[in-house]
Chain A
Amino acid sequence: MFEYAPAPESRDVVALRDSYGLFIDGEFTDGGGVFKTVNPADEEVLAEVASADSADVDRAVAAARRAFDTVWGSMPGRERGKYLFRIARILQERAREFAVLESLDNGKPIRESRDIDLPLVAAHFFYYAGWADKLSYAGLGGARPLGVAGQVIPWNFPLLMLAWKIAPALATGNTVVLKPAETTPLTALLFAEVCQQAELPPGVVNIVTGAGETGRALVAHPGVDKVAFTGSTEVGREIARAVAGSSKRLTLELGGKAANIVFDDAPVDQAVEGIVDGIFFNQGHVCCAGSRLLVQESVADEVLSSLRRRMSTLRVGDPLDKNTDVGAINSAEQLAKIRELSDIGEAEGATRWSPSCSLPDRGFWFAPTVFTGVSQAHRIAREEVFGPVLSVLTFRTPAEAVEKANNTPYGLSAGIWTEKGSRILWMADKLRAGVVWANTFNKFDPASPFGGYKESGYGREGGRHGLEAYVK
């Protein structure tokens, strides 16, 4: 038997500090309180992080306003672009450090933070750096910045979501106050160091860490002109209510329950790979995850047996091991939620299967899981699990596939697997989802807009469309 010996990435490339402050007006400062952030793979406390109260948020917004009024808002686009290019290059130079810290704080495998997150983070800054001096050619009219953007991001792709938010905001001349998720604040704070290293004018980027209260204070702050949020639909609703009636602009990128649709003529091996990538990538902590597999009945058995075999080769464990495919669940709360919904899936009559794999004793772990015999009525087919749990449904005709795929409160993404090009186009036209992937899944590119229909939110991030949310 060919057992791969442990191949751990070194932690030494990261200089973890015992405590981290808030990043306001170009300086690290104390906050109203502190909280701890842990490594989800072993529950070790990584650092103490300052928690921003409303007074801290006030200071951050004031700093952002000052920077907007005095430097950034009136700076020529070609000058802003230089800063963004500089940030992108520094991120590339420090990619390994960022990747290790991201895996430590988030629990995602190093091969994903190293090969996917960090290259995309740098690519987003490069992409929007290129737009900074070309806004008049983006077809957005006068393209004047909005002012101060309050941005709240989730814990599944901490640094990538930061890049999606900060890069277009800065490129268009806005200043930002960003709140990273409570469980994954560290790479945002390391990014603050990058801002210092790039000599970004003080106040252009401010990072306030904390939990829901900090986020609420930021969203409700009267000095904020624009709110951008990525996270759960539940919190998104709360934010929409808080912002309603004000002049604040709002974009929301919320949950999903994507259908990954496999037809009988699909290339089976690649479809199985796409199914695995669709739901087990980043432990399924992906809002556009392909969490509902819709497979044509005539090939369901073949596809499912291939899927089970493939799942048996997934390596679950230490996120810093370069051979790990599936890492740790981000938090105890999320693990509890995944367990609860999976138990409900069983209780409602679906058949549960996981490959045999030994999970570490400490930390938050959940084995890759597939539910068969699922129907649209089951809760695991309707609710977002946000974990490595796949629900399998079947269909008989393309029209039925479309109906089932669209029969969800969400509409963020979808996947189609077929060798028939005309069917891809027909389906893509009918699926109510912001992104439709054909014969692939979970592919991201800074030039491609991303966002949802229905309860998956509104507004687009990425591409030329992503600029619209930050200009008037």
Chain B
Amino acid sequence: MSVTAVPDVGRSEASLRRFLHGLSGVDEVGAKARADRLGTRSIKTSAKAYALDLAIRMIDLTTLEGADTPGKVRALCAKGLHPGDDAPPVAAICVYGDRVPDAVEALKGSNVHIAAVATAFPSGRAPLPVKLADTRAAVEAGADEIDMVIDRGAFLSGQYTQVFDEIVAVKEACGDAHLKVILETGELVTYDNVRRASWLAMLAGADFIKTSTGKVSPAATLPVTLVMLEACRDFRDAHGRQVGMKPAGGIRTAKDAIKYLVMVNEITGPDWLDPDWFRFGASSLLNDLLLQRRKMATGHYAGSDYVTLD
């Protein structure tokens, strides 16, 4: 694999545009058909048990409500640390920036990461200094992962350098914190846009690319994830740097989660089958994984009262 320096395509609007529009296109029908076909894999017994625990370890357990309180965040952290039975803890707890201190307190001494959404999440409609201040505040409060949103308006109107420069600036404001860049694919609409935005984010320094805020429909879908995983794979082939991937929003069942893991396995290869490189942004997925896990252990489905609400 040839490792070359990231091209200096961000230098001018024209060079960035030429680069992004020079990427191979995505045939929508073909991408959907491939995603559908991967979804028919039959994952049973030992493979299923492995996948269920891996999925739990990949969850960014999330609450992003206007009504979030310290109590709600503490409860979520407790659940993330001890999901039930002997299930492993989740990867991270994801909250709004102002709730980070609650999570820091609750997760003290554990390896569970603290992710904060920043940059005027979910719309991204704020001046850059505000977005940077939002980011710095979250990092200073103790977040070690920042989920930023891109300016979809700028992207759709073709102002790629503005989007690029914002990501670069936020990455710098993150310091040591990992940066996840949310493309909000539901608003980008076409798969060509998704592929271009993925490359744009990776070129600008993203550590992760993420589908959605969860506030826009459609959120994560299998075909969108397919296109983004292909971009991650191709980016590493071209530049030698591995970037993580996080589908978020609407992934509620173990069955769906396993489809995503199959896709990771067959599109990027197993290098990405690790919480360092693949995450699920989800809140209700965890309980279904726990129920399926219990089903595998006992042979019976337990009711929803046998897993905790939060």
Contacts and interface: CB of A to CB of B under 8 A. Distances in A.
Interface of A: 1-7, 111, 115, 265-270, 273-274, 313, 322-323, 419, 439-440
A313 B266 contact: yes
Nearest to B47: A5
Given A2-B265, A3-B47, A269-B34, 7 more contacts: A2-B51, A5-B45, A6-B44, A269-B24, A269-B26, A270-B34, A439-B30
Given A2-B261, A439-B30, A267 B47 contact: no
A267 B262 CA distance: 22
B17 interface: no
B230 A269 contact: yes
Given A1-B270, A267-B24, A269-B24, A274 B30 contact: yes
B266 A323 contact: no
Interface of B: 24-27, 29-31, 33-34, 40-48, 50-51, 54, 230, 261-262, 265-266, 270, 273
Complex A-B, nearest 8 residue pairs according to Cβ-Cβ distance, in ascending order = A270-B30, A7-B42, A322-B42, A270-B27, A267-B27, A5-B47, A268-B24, A5-B45
B30 A323 contact: no
B46 A5 contact: yes
A5 B34 CA distance: 21
A265 B45 CA distance: 43
Contacts of A322: 40-42
A277 to B, nearest CB: 9
9 contacts: A2-B265, A3-B46, A4-B47, A7-B43, A265-B25, A267-B24, A267-B27, A269-B26, A270-B31
B273 A4 contact: no
Contacts of A111: 40
Nearest to A312: B269
B50 A267 contact: no
A270 B41 CA distance: 19
Given A4-B43, A322-B42, A323-B42, A440 B30 contact: yes
Nearest to B226: A269
Nearest to A110: B42
Nearest to A321: B42
A262 to B, nearest CB: 11
Contact of B26 (A3, A270, A440): A270
Contacts of B25: 265, 267, 419
B270 A2 contact: yes
A111 B54 CA distance: 26
Nearest to B26: A267
Contacts of B51: 2
A444 to B, nearest CB: 14
Contacts of B44: 5-7
Contacts of B262: 2
A269 B31 contact: yes
A439 B27 contact: yes
B34 A4 contact: no
A440 B31 CA distance: 11
